[in-house]
Structures are given as structure tokens and as C-alpha cells.
Amino acid sequence: MQKNLIILFLIILLFSCAKDKSSVGITYTEEDYQQFIDLAWSDLSEQELSTVVIQMEEAIVKHAVISRENNIWYYSTKKHTKFAMSIPNPNVDFFNHQDFIAVIINTKDTDLLGPIVIIIEPYYKLVFSRGLRS
């Protein structure tokens, strides 16, 4: 019985964490997470805002790693799934596998196109790019 309660507690703890609290030894505060969400939200167009189906504080913030293979840019989360992304400035120079933040925002079109994903450079807190939608 006690073993089942411990397993249940661990499962609840695992699934209740919507925010990825650290990135390769870097710990972000709740204030940092709010700034990441604010930046992503302010990057949305009026049309995108009209399709958002979540409250601002429900946006998911995840650690992401940026990489480039065969001249295609990708971001990946800890699940190691690669997603193509756009680069607003092809001359932007940064290290392959550099750490970034992905803010995920669900819309009415998420089932069809996927969520809006805003890629943020966490040190300077700048919007860097977006994940491509289908």
C-alpha cells in the first residue's frame, strides 16, 4: 500500500510540472519564466492573438536546444524530438546546441497546424525565432 502511494505521488509530481525549471545547470526564477511568456505573448500578431485558446499564464515554457543540420535549423526539447524552425536573420551567429527557451502557446489551430512556438534567447531575453507550423 505504501509503495503504491509513493508511486502515485511520483506520477503526480512528474505530470504537474509544466515548466522546465533548469537548463544545463542554469536555474530560472518564476520572474524569468514570466518574462519569457511576456516576450512570447508580445510577439504574437493580432490575428494570432484572436486564435489563442489559453490564458497567458497557461503558456508552457520549456528548455530547448538549437542545432543546424544540412542548413536546416531545428529546436528540440528534452524529449529529443526535433522541430524545424525559422531563422529571422540567416547571418545570426551562435553555437550549435546552444540553450534557448521555447514558449508554447495553443490556439484554435493547434490540432491542424501545431502550437505557436516562440524561441527565446534566455540570457538577453530576446525573441530569437519561431517553430514552423505545419
**One-character DSSP codes across 39-68:** HHHHTS-HHHHHHB-S-GGG-EEEEEEEEE
Amino acid at the residue 21: K
What the block records as the C-alpha cell of 114 is: 501545431
In this predicted model, what pLDDT tens digit does every residue of 54-113 receive, in sequence order? Answer: 999 999 998 888 887 777 778 887 666 778 887 756 555 566 667 889 999 999 999 999
Burial label, 23 (beta-carbon count in 10 A; 0-12, 13-18, 19+) = middle
HSE-up (13 A, CA, CB side) for residue 92: 17
Which pTM value belongs to this model? 0.74
Lowest mean pLDDT among 44-53, 72-81, 85-94, 116-125: 85-94
What the block records as the C-alpha cell of 110 is: 493547434
